[in-house]
Chain A
Amino acid sequence: MIIEIILALLLGIIIGTITGITPGIHINLVSAILLGLSASLLTFVFPIVLVVFLVSMAMTHTFVDYVPSVFLGAPDEENFLSILPGHEMLIKGEAYSAIVYTLYGSLSGLLIILIFSPLFFFFLPIVYPYAEGIMPFILILTCIFLISFEKSSRLWAFLIFIISGLLGIATLNLPVKEPLLPLFTGLFGVSSLITAITKKQTIPPQKIMPLKEITLTRVSFFKSIFASIIASPLCSFLPGMGSGQAAVIGSEVTGDLDRKEFLVLLGAINTIVTGLSFITLYTINKARTGVAVAIGEIIKLSISNLVVITLVIFASGIISFFVTIFLARYFSKIISKVNYQILSGVVLLILFAVVFYFSGFLGLLAMLVSTCVGLTCIYAGVRRTHMMGSLLISTILYYLL
């Protein structure tokens, strides 16, 4: 059994690395596919072995997926904000440092999971029933905050939020498989790649500095970590709330964060949200991530399962840190030697193929419309978090109607 668990852990790291490095593939999609296969898989492995594989894969994915996000401008819905500071650093030849900052955040996230798990464990079941009753109002208030935090144009922010909301309602009601795939691929991935291609971006040689030289001041580090502690619980118990919005709220609450601080914050939030989603599943029986949904279907979580999951989170997180460092070094060496437009074009074709394979022609149509909304947001110069109205408005209506 222990050997099986270790093998599942290592296999999860390998598959999580592949899914993380592949542009446009979100961990929820992989979890949904595995859930479909789980009935056959469970005939020859114990449920806990499959759970270890899923947790290890999800944690690795949250570490590795900053690599395509920063180097290719092809993020998924959880790390799309990293494209802005990350891409700015790529253009300055500092992509490697950008990824290392997100990794510092992710590693700190592992410690925060350890510290906050007991608090979540005891307080969430007490707080959640009260919060659930006023959930739509909390979500509406959060949306108002997010729009009012916009520094460029609140009118455009509101418009993008509403258009994205209508797009989300329409797409989620289309008879297509995996409707979130075309929705988010278009909003955040394809629109970024088209912008990169049309701007004829050239990438300078990247600096690979030793880790000890990629530093933050103590104040900056604790500011980012404090923001992640405030923001992460929002994602963990508010449905429809992504880590991007949580990062904006955390950033606003603690005062404006610079690029490095923001990357640390994002890395920490993504890791904490994935880690705490298993506690949320156990304590209030709500799955806030795709992998938690899959685990909830495979096994009824017990305390001993949670202990195993926590150990797997740590082991896979630490190994993924080194895997991501290796990948970031490799990409840093080759990125300035390849034609960035051709590379972006190839990634674009991969995204089209993935969406067509999973969601068909209707999915492609939804992706094209989502791309137009994504481009409108980029040209209007407002934060891309407003496009998360695509999920938030549907969620609010679900509670209200």
Chain B
Amino acid sequence: MKTNLKICLALSLFGVLLLIFLSSHLTPKQYLTADITKESIGDYVRIKGNISYIKNIEEGEFYILTISDSTGEITGTLNSKDLNINKSQTYIFSGKIEKYENETQININKILSYDN
């Protein structure tokens, strides 16, 4: 029993570290906003685009923004206490496609600035 416990504990620790590594290094597939449909709900995606509209709610911790690319636009939501973004800059938005009031939107969990 003790050997089993040690093996399982070692595998658990190794596995958890592997998952932490993968979760911070794996990037989801890049989409154009026009490619995002109701079938994409639940998918993790990356979108390259600009912010055409931004509004903060709940004392600056919750943001609703519109992401635009050459094919269209999509609404995004973001929880952040310290958001510093520039409307003229292009960004890569990563997050999960969700449904809100019959519309698809992206629940953003990471924003990276896109240089070139």
Chain A interfacial positions (CB closer than 8 Å to B):
32, 35-36, 39, 163, 166-167, 169-171, 173-178, 297, 362, 365-366, 368-369, 372-373, 375-376, 379-380, 398, 401
Contacts and interface: CB of A to CB of B under 8 A. Distances in A.
B19 A366 contact: yes
Contact of B12 (A32, A163, A177): A163
A39 B37 CA distance: 12
Interface residues of B, number: 31
A161 B34 CA distance: 43
Contacts of B1: 379
Interface in B12-35: 12-13, 15-16, 18-20, 22-24, 26-28
A169 B20 contact: yes
Contacts of B22: 170, 174, 362, 365
15 contacts: A36-B99, A163-B12, A166-B16, A167-B19, A173-B109, A174-B22, A176-B44, A177-B42, A177-B43, A365-B15, A366-B19, A369-B11, A372-B11, A373-B8, A375-B4
A36 B18 CA distance: 31
Nearest to B9: A376
Contact of B42 (A39, A173, A178, A373): A178
Contact of A35 (B23, B24, B26, B99): B99
B62 to A, nearest CB: 12
A369 B18 contact: yes
Nearest to B102: A39
B9 A175 contact: no
Given A36-B38, A372-B12, A373-B8, 8 more contacts: A39-B102, A163-B12, A173-B109, A297-B99, A365-B22, A366-B19, A373-B15, A375-B8
Nearest to B44: A175
Contacts of B44: 175-177
B15 A372 contact: yes
Contacts of B57: none
Nearest 10 CB-CB pairings of A with B: A369-B15, A175-B44, A170-B19, A173-B23, A379-B5, A376-B8, A372-B11, A372-B12, A175-B28, A375-B8
Q: Which of A35, A36, A167, A174 has the most CB of B within 10 A?
A: A174
B16 A170 contact: yes
Contacts of B43: 177
A36 B41 contact: yes
Contacts of B28: 175
B24 A373 contact: no
Contacts of B27: 175
Contacts of A375: 4, 8
B43 to A, nearest CB: 7
Given A174-B19, A376-B12, A380-B5, A32 B42 contact: yes
Contact of A171 (B8, B11, B19, B100): B19
A167 B8 CA distance: 14
